[in-house]
Chain A
C-alpha cells in the first residue's frame, strides 16, 4: 500500500509538471529557422567563405550536452578561431582564422549534418 501511494504521488507530481507549461504557464514556442530559396542555394556553394565570422542557423539543438557535439567538431578544424553556441537563438557563431583557408558553405553544411543537426542557412560578418 505504501508503495502504491508513493507511486501515485510521484505520478501526480510528474504529471503536473508535464502539463504546467512552466512557471509562466506558457509553452515554449522555440526557434524554427527557415530559409529562402537563395539562402538554401547558398549552402551548396563550394567557394571558401570570405569573412572572419559566420553565423550558422541550426535546427535540432535539443539539449546542452547534444549541442556540444558541434563545438567539438568545429574546434578540430584548422580554420576555427572560436565557436559559440546559443541555445536560445539556435545559432552557432564560428570565428575564422584569417591565415587559414576558410570553409565553404557546403563544407559547413556537411559538417553540421555529420554532427547530427541541420544547417538551415548562414550569415557572414
Chain B
C-alpha cells in the first residue's frame, strides 16, 4: 500500500521529467531553487506551517501538533552570490499517553546559507537553466533542547533549476552534518544523526498561458516530493501539492504536505502538514 501511494503521487513529477525539455522553474515552498536576488536586492519570505505528527516511538507521546513561523531574509551580495538567513519560531502541542496535553514554544536553529550560482544559460525570453551550490550552517538559537540543537550544524549541497515556457523544475540535494540535537525532539533532520534532504519540485503556470505586455503576475500549481534520509536509517518521502502566485514585487503560496512512504523507527510519522507563505522583493 505504501508503494502504491508513492507510485500514484510520482505521476506529476514523472510528467515533469518527460516535459523537462520545455519547462522553467520558480521556487516552490519546500524545495530550493537556483535563483537569487541580484546584488543589493532583498527578498523577505514569511511562511506559516502546521504539521501534525503521530505517535513518537521514543517518548510514547500520542500526537504532536507543530505550528511554525519561518521568516527568511535573502540578500544578493554579488553577481552570483546570495545570503539567506532563516529564523524559525515554533509552537508545539503534545498529547501524552494519558491524553494530557502540554504546550511549548521556542526558536529553532537559525539557518545561514550562502548560495553561489555556478552555471546559468538563458536560452529564451523566459527560458533558463541554472545550477547553484549551497553552503552554510544551522546555528542554535540558544532556546531549550526541544527546539534548538545547542550546536552548529554545517550543511552543503546543490540545486538545479530549469524554466521553460510554462514549466519549472527544481531539484535540490543538501547534506547536513548534525553535531547536536536529541532523538526525542527530532521531527526530521533535527536529531544527532546526519541528514540528507532531497527535494523535487515541478511548477506549471496555469495563468496566463502566455505572457503579454500587460502581464504583471502569474499563477502556478506546484507539486513537490520532499525526501529526507537520516544516518540512523530513518527515511521519509512527503508529497506537497500547492498553489502559488507571483507578482512583480510580491508572491504568495499555499501548500499541503502529505506522507508518501517512510521507514521511521526513531521519530513520529507525519499525518499531514499545511503551509501559507508570502514573499516581498525590495
The residues of A with any CB-CB pair to B shorter than 8 Å are 3-4, 6-8, 10-12, 14-15, 17-19, 21-24, 27-33, 58-73, 76, 85-90, 113-118
Pairs across A and B, CB under 8 Å, 29 listed: A3-B258, A3-B259, A7-B5, A10-B9, A10-B241, A11-B8, A28-B210, A28-B211, A31-B125, A31-B126, A33-B125, A59-B123, A59-B124, A63-B24, A64-B218, A65-B250, A66-B35, A69-B38, A69-B76, A72-B282, A87-B211, A87-B213, A89-B125, A116-B35, A116-B38, A116-B80, A117-B122, A118-B120, A118-B122
Residues of A with C-beta under 8 A to B250: 65
Contact check: which of B24, B166, B241, B281 meets A65 at CB < 8 Å?
B281
Per-residue 0/1 for B248-280: is the Cβ within 8 Å of any A Cβ (1 yes, 0 no)? 111100000011100000000000000000010
Q: Is B247 an interface residue (CB 8 A)?
A: yes
Report yes or no: A7 in contact with B209, Cβ–Cβ below 8 A.
no
CB distance from A124 to the nearest CB of B (A): 20
- Whether B241 contacts A14 by the Cβ 8 Å rule is yes
Complex Cα–Cα for A10 and B12 (A): 9
Bound CA span A18–B167, Å: 8
Per-residue 0/1 for B204-220: is the Cβ within 8 Å of any A Cβ (1 yes, 0 no)?
10100111111111100
- Residue from B76, B164, B211 having most chain A Cβ neighbours under 10 A: B211
When the two chains form their complex, are residues B26 and A63 in contact, meaning their CB atoms are under 8 A apart? yes
A11 touches B12 (CB 8 A): yes
Question: When chains A and B are docked, how far (Å) is the Cα of A117 from the Cα of B122?
Answer: 7
- Is there a chain A Cβ closer than 8 Å to B41's Cβ? yes
Chain B residues, Cβ within 8 Å of A18: 12, 15-16, 19, 167, 202, 204
Residues of A within 8 A of B249 (CB): 65, 68
